[in-house]
Amino acid sequence: MSARTRIIKAAGIAAAGVLALGLASCAGGGGDDGGGGDGGDELTTVGFVAVGPEGDWRAANETNIQDTFTEDAGYELKYAPAANLDQKSQIDAFTSFVDEGVDVILLSATEGSGWEDSLERAQEAEIPVILIDRGIEPDNTDLYVTRIAPDNPQVAAGVAEWAVSEFPDGANYFVLEGPAGVSVVNERNEGWDSVMDSESGFTKLGAQTANWSTEEGKSVFETVLKSNDNDVQLLFAQNDEMGLGAIQAVEEAGLTPGEDVKIATIDGTRGAMEALAAGELSFVAEYNPLFGDTALDAVEKALAGESVEPYIIVPSETFDSPEAAEEALPEREY
């Protein structure tokens, strides 16, 4: 979306707000449309097309967004989690928000593709859209204001660089992936592969989705260990829950996690940090979920017609030892 488009949108929204206030002062009542919420109040309405229940990271992220866009801050947040991670339910919620005339839409997509029509409709309605965490494919930046997220390729490349330093002579490894079609899965593969593809000493035994699930992570990695006669030295789990499930599989195979099989994960939730402190995980790359304030700033700038960077990267840390995890745990918020 060009700066000129954003300014035009903001001007339209501001004009609508002035008109609504004028009508309210003259007539003492407001219509049901527009960004003022119920009864002509002055709250800015935000439609949050969310993912919903999907593990500790998602819960922390969505709670942080909800705790940020409050009435005290001048916002009415309308939270619409997906039904069983179904994209159709998200598209329906998005359409409803456009029809309702909310002031801005926050979108955290369950699937990367299939959003062009919805985003074009929001653009025609002069409703700015901000992507939360997950991107869209194809990535048409003219259709949204900005995407706010940690840098997935960079985070995953950092995991791979740790693996190379940990196994100077190479290793057999497997990758537990998130659901197919999700942008962050593709980005984490991209970052990991950018490092590992040039490392001749490493043998990739395969990759399979475990849908961000602890139970599926355990089940899939049990099969991997059996089919490879336990000759697996490294596992890259694209989120903490799958890595925690893999710990169980390693232990049930009679192996020691952290010694016989080193497991690296992404997210940095409390459960993973506790497992790292116990030596069961070997490396945890944080994927910071607490960026509600950043989203709030982007919303305010977009509505004011100010320029916003098309990708706002959320800083994240890495933890490579039990000591580092123990130090971080007391202040861990999720």
Q: CATH number for the domain including 245?
A: 3.40.50.2300
Shared domain check, 157 and 145? no
Question: What HEC string does the chain produce?
Answer: CCHHHHHHHHHHHHHHHHHHHHHHHHHCCCCCCCCCCHHHCCCEEEEEEECCCCCHHHHHHHHHHHHHCCCCCCEEEEEEECCCCCHHHHHHHHHHHHHHCCCEEEECCCCCCCCHHHHHHHHHCCCCEEEECCCCCCCCHHHCCEEEECCHHHHHHHHHHHHHHHCCCCCEEEEEECCCCCHHHHHHHHHHHHHHCCCCCCEEEEEEECCCCHHHHHHHHHHHHHHCCCCCCEEEECCHHHHHHHHHHHHHCCCCECCCEEEEEEECCHHHHHHHHCCCCCEEEECCCCCHHHHHHHHHHHHCCCCCCCEEECCCCEECCHHHHHHHHHHCCC
Q: Does 223 share its domain with 108? A: no
Note whether residue 308 is domain-resident.
no
Q: Does residue 106 belong to any structural domain of this protein?
A: yes
Looking at the DSSP bridge assignments, the partners of residue 286 are 267
Reading the chain (334 residues) residue by residue, the pLDDT tens digits are 333 233 333 333 333 333 333 323 333 333 333 334 344 468 999 999 999 998 899 999 999 999 999 999 999 999 999 999 899 999 999 999 999 999 999 999 999 999 999 999 999 999 999 999 999 988 999 999 999 999 999 999 999 999 999 999 999 999 999 999 899 999 999 999 999 998 989 999 999 999 999 999 999 999 999 999 999 999 999 999 999 999 999 999 999 999 999 999 999 999 999 999 999 999 999 999 999 999 999 999 999 999 999 999 999 999 999 999 999 999 998 9
User: For residue 312, is it within any domain?
Assistant: no
Domain boundaries, position 145: 3-149+292-303
In a domain, 96, yes or no: yes
Q: 179-194: b or e for each residue (b if 16 or more CB lie within 10 Å)?
A: bebbbbbbbbbebbbe
- At 16 the pLDDT is 36
Q: Are residues 100 and 24 in the same domain?
A: yes
Do 55 and 103 fall within a single domain? yes
Domain contains 314? no
Q: Same structural domain for residues 138 and 192?
A: no
pLDDT of residue 233: 98
Verify that 218 and 275 share a domain, yes or no. yes
Task: Work out how many domains the chain is built from and give that number.
Answer: 2
Residues 243, 271 within the same domain: yes
Q: Is residue 63 part of a domain?
A: yes
The pLDDT of residue 54 is: 87
Residue 192 lies in a domain: yes
81 with 179, same domain?
no
For residues 40 and 107, state if they share a domain.
yes
If asked whether residues 141 and 184 sit together in one domain, one would say: no
Q: Are residues 191 and 278 in the same domain?
A: yes
Tell me, yes or no, whether 145 lies in a domain.
yes
Q: According to the model, what pLDDT value does residue 41 have?
A: 62
Is 277 in the same domain as 226?
Answer: yes
